[in-house]
Structure 1
Amino acid sequence: MNLEIILRYVHFISIFTIVGTLASEHLILKKELKRAEIGKLARIDMVYGLAAMTLLIV
């Protein structure tokens, strides 16, 4: 029973993480990006990918 509750919370946290990463990518993206911004986007994409994989697994 506790495992089921934990998995539900992980599922919802993954969904909120995906929404947050998409929103932050939208705010960072523009026509010309600096090197630091590209690095930020890469880290955000990594978090997005991990959240998406977690969502699919759970």
Structure 2
Amino acid sequence: MPSPLVIFQALADQTRLRILALLRDMELSVGELAQVLGQSQPGVSRHVKILVQAG
């Protein structure tokens, strides 16, 4: 289980919080998230990776 510090660090970013809010309501691919967020797909993938690693 990830430490609380890792979890809070992952949640400290506004983009990652927006990703969680979007995924709470519906299932979206990284490409769809990137389009909704107005960011590049590699950038969103990096954020998703951080969230996954934080558990």
TM-score (norm 2): 0.48
More helix by share: 1
* Structure number with bigger Rg: 1
The TM-score, its normalising length taken from structure 1, stands at 0.46
